[in-house]
Structure 1
Amino acid sequence: MDGLKCVVTGGSGFVGWRLVEMLVERGAREVISFDISPQPEQAVPNPKVKFVQGDIRKKDVVDSVIQGADVVFHIAAVVGTFHPKKLYEEVNYDGTMNILEACKKFKVKRMVLSGTPSTRFHHGVGISGKGIEEMEMPKKFVAEYARTKAKAEIAVMNAITDDFLATCVMPHQVYGPYDTLFMPQLMYVSKKGILRVYGDGQNEISICYNDNYCHALMLAAEKLYAGSPVVGSSYIVTDGGKYKIWDLLDEASLYMGYGSIKEKQRIPYFVMMMIATISEFVSKLLGKVSRIQRFTVLMLMIDRWFDISAAERDLGYKPIKPTTEAWPETLQWFKEHEDFLIRKAQAAVEDVKKKKKRD
């Protein structure tokens, strides 16, 4: 990244801000952090970092940010399943098209797209040890988030020319300090005594430490050159290995002092899916957003672990910190910053309510 001017969309987010920091650490000349939200609370002023608050749905704003960049890391997205349907299309697809068009307009040759393995999930079917080349996109996506991210990925890949090179890097279950989604939402529910094991509790997943993902994104940018196998390819990156998700969550809950999840009564698959279906139906009638959804339940009950050999081969990817170090450090951080966990979990609920009202 030596001497490059980089743009990071979603630069105030969990992944985005850490990427901004690591780009500076690796010699970037200038990093533009572009986000609709204010700078994150952990941001430390740095002369090499310029923050621009703006909306990727507005072409003129996007143009002003992208002009003069050497490489664009497109991280910004509406994630999860709780937002108004049209927002996913507007941000995840339309916003990406604005970024893409600006790159073409201002002759920015390299773009690294942050993707998601959920673009390859088929409803009700888990993934056990497959590589990206073995997984096809479904005809019907499991959620609007997955559909719009897939649509954007396809469009970016189809736009590749000799003068515009792109790749897509997908993490799975990102975790680490300042996580605002995975740990806060699940641990907040555990703190309230509500979280239970869904199904038999034996399903396995891959996880990805935030620094490892940011490392992979930067490797991908460095590999974008004529003739590289990375151009036009998509990759999944994780810490490597697989873990039973309920073992991880139980360990986290115990560490936080919230008690064991596994010692509580388990909820069978069909019961949990029935609860989620009813919750979605009633919430729709009331004009609200269901906090229990079939997609979320499904993600906690199926296998989701992957072969990352393609990223190892083409990107030269190797985790810079193993799970055995990163996971305990993450638990310790959240234990020491429990107020952050609670605030982010509560803020997520309020944010969804506000967006639903605007919709």
Structure 2
Amino acid sequence: MSGTLSGVSCLVTGASGFVGHRIVQMLLEEEDLGELRVMDKTLSGQLLQTCDRFQSKIPLKVLEGDIRDPEFLLRSCQGVDLVIHTAAMIDTIGRVNKETLMSINLHGTELLLESCVQNNVRYFIYTSSMEVVGPNTNGDPIVNGHEGLVYKSTLGFCYGESKRQAEQAVLQANGRQLQNGGSLVTCSLRPTYIFGEGSQFLQLHLDQALQNRGVFHRISKKEALANPVYVGNVVWAHVLAARAMMGPGTAQKIAGNFYYICDDTPHMSYSDLNHALGRELGLEVEDRLAMPYPLLYFVASVMELVSFLLRPFFRFAPPLTRHLLILLNTTFTFSYKKAHKDMGYKPRYSWEEARRLTTTWMATILLQRKEEMKKK
């Protein structure tokens, strides 16, 4: 039997982010919380508008500060029962240096865990990523992977490594004794590639398609299958994980475990996902990669070498890296069976509904771009 979030004081970090903001929305709309605290380094206008709409429903506290500030974290966690930690620096092409990534994604998580222990925060959910697994540098595929799968994970990229170490810290903290003698309960959720309204990656691909006469660039081979997940289903999984943590029959199942989070979106390449979402808007996708994959790999290697040579003078983030190329062109799919078994997770949104909602949002972006073009 799952628990309830009624009367719970919850802190959401990264609350202005793509996933964090949607978690805040769902908690405010559907849960009878005792209090909600929203935290981010910079609070977006969109988040503040959401908070304004619900300020009469439950006590809301807005916290603006850095995840690397231990004093700020200690104050933020006082009196909290549940932390949902989505805050992270996301970097797919090496734009951010390793020290910054580790300080935010790993050290910030460690500081937050310590603040929970000091403040007797009982429950902690970490938003991880499938990139803590891979793909590895060999591009070895995974088909319908599960939590018990052993995969030779030779991560060649700082972002995935920072998330992997942070997840380890979260799971190892499960069972830590709190100041009041209780114990910390933690779990980690590993979403696959997340799409939906507000996705910065989808918006980037859309802008590139507009510059390419309404045609998405082919960035992944048709046969390189991923299982994208709709943002609404990722958020729903977080709520179910929180309920399960507080349920007498489910708390021990979920404690100290990680879960792959995906849904029933058809398995397809990243490029074909873009096309599936943009087809009704008249957008097309290129038939093949710009050049053969081995040649693309060589180009990415050269770009990385140039970036390395220029580093003493300035930071050049190559638009294509070997890691990104492998990520986009490796079959990497997972199953959500364990999440269903342990926390009752089933996708709340069907593929048809997720596609409709996302395409409608994409249409508004296209309209904005056309208005911007008229003003130039």
TM-score (norm 1): 0.88
Displacement of 1:216 in angstroms is 0.5
1:155 paired residue among 152, 169, 178: 169
Partner of 1:326: 354
CA-atom RMSD in angstroms: 2.2
| Deviations 1:221-276 (CA, angstroms, capped at 9, x unpaired) | 1222576210010001111354212322223444444x422346643211221121
The whole-number CA distance in structure 1 between the counterparts of 2:225 and 2:109 is 32
The whole-number CA distance in structure 2 between the counterparts of 1:307 and 1:212 is 14
The whole-number CA distance in structure 1 between the counterparts of 2:253 and 2:197 is 33
State the identity %: 24
Paired residues for 1:90-129 under 5 Å: 90-121=103-134, 122-123=136-137, 124-129=139-144
Displacement of 1:76 in angstroms is 0.3
Question: Letter of the aligned partner of 1:134 in structure 2?
Answer: L
Counterpart check, 1:6 vs 2:21:
no
Q: Highest CA radius of gyration, 1 or 2? A: 2
| Deviations 1:14-36 (CA, angstroms, capped at 9, x unpaired) | 10011011111222222111001
Aligned length: 339
The question of whether the paired residues in 1 share the 8 Å contact of 2:221 and 2:289 is answered with no
Displacement of 1:189 in angstroms is 2.3
Partner of 1:282: 306
| Deviations 1:165-192 (CA, angstroms, capped at 9, x unpaired) | 0000111111111222x20122222222
CA distance 1:145–1:341, shift in 2 (3 Å): farther
Counterpart check, 1:174 vs 2:194:
yes
> Which segment is superposed worse, 97-106 or 224-233?
224-233
The whole-number CA distance in structure 1 between the counterparts of 2:220 and 2:232 is 32
The question of whether the paired residues in 1 share the 8 Å contact of 2:233 and 2:263 is answered with yes
Partner of 1:60: 71
Partner of 1:243: 267
Partner of 1:207: 228
CA distance 1:143–1:340, shift in 2 (3 Å): farther
> Which segment is superposed worse, 330-339 or 213-222?
330-339
| Deviations 1:140-196 (CA, angstroms, capped at 9, x unpaired) | 31311111111111112112226100000111111111222x201222222222853
Partner of 2:242: 221
The whole-number CA distance in structure 1 between the counterparts of 2:289 and 2:198 is 31
The whole-number CA distance in structure 2 between the counterparts of 1:148 and 1:126 is 22
Counterpart check, 1:232 vs 2:256:
yes
The whole-number CA distance in structure 1 between the counterparts of 2:368 and 2:166 is 32
The question of whether the paired residues in 2 share the 8 Å contact of 1:17 and 1:40 is answered with no
Displacement of 1:198 in angstroms is 4.4
Unaligned runs of 5+ in 2: 176-181, 371-376
TM-score (norm 2): 0.84
1:80 paired residue among 62, 80, 91: 91
Paired residues for 1:343-354 under 5 Å: none
Partner of 2:202: 183
Displacement of 1:114 in angstroms is 0.6
Unaligned runs of 5+ in 1: 343-359
